[in-house]
Amino acid sequence: MPVLFCFCSLHVGWESLHSPEYARLVVWLKAEREARGLSMRDLAERLEVPHSFIGKTEQAERRLDVVEYLHYCEALGISPTKGLKIIKG
């Protein structure tokens, strides 16, 4: 039987979800969405997700995984690399 690994625990996930680095990333993503005149519903349609996905992401109630982050950036037409630089500070 294959062994499955979970790379996040509730403790680690909570810390990164509420870290200053993640807060900077979320603020940047929201600002980029707003700068493009997109509502949460508009972005949700582009990503083919419920609009609550965007709201929870922007309120830091859920964390984007790396694949979601790449799709999010693509939907906004922004460079994922810029977000990584923002995380570094």
Where in the chain are the domains?
Answer: 20-88
pTM of the complete model? 0.80
Query: What is the model's pLDDT at position 16?
Result: 63
Residue type, 74: E
CATH number corresponding to 20-88: 1.10.260.40
Residue 27 has pLDDT above 90, yes or no: yes
In the DSSP assignment, the letter for residue 45 is: H
Q: How confident is the model at residue 18 (pLDDT cuts 50, 70, 90)?
A: confident
Q: 11 pLDDT exceeds 50?
A: no
User: In this structure, what token pair is assigned to residue 59?
Assistant: 């309120």
- Checking if the pLDDT of 9 tops 70, the result is no
Q: How high is the mean pLDDT of the chain? A: 86
Long-range contacts of range 34-40, CB-CB < 8 Å, 24 or more positions apart? Answer: 36/76, 36/77, 38/76
Distance separating alpha carbons of residues 3 and 50, to the nearest angstrom: 32
Average pLDDT over residues 51-69: 96
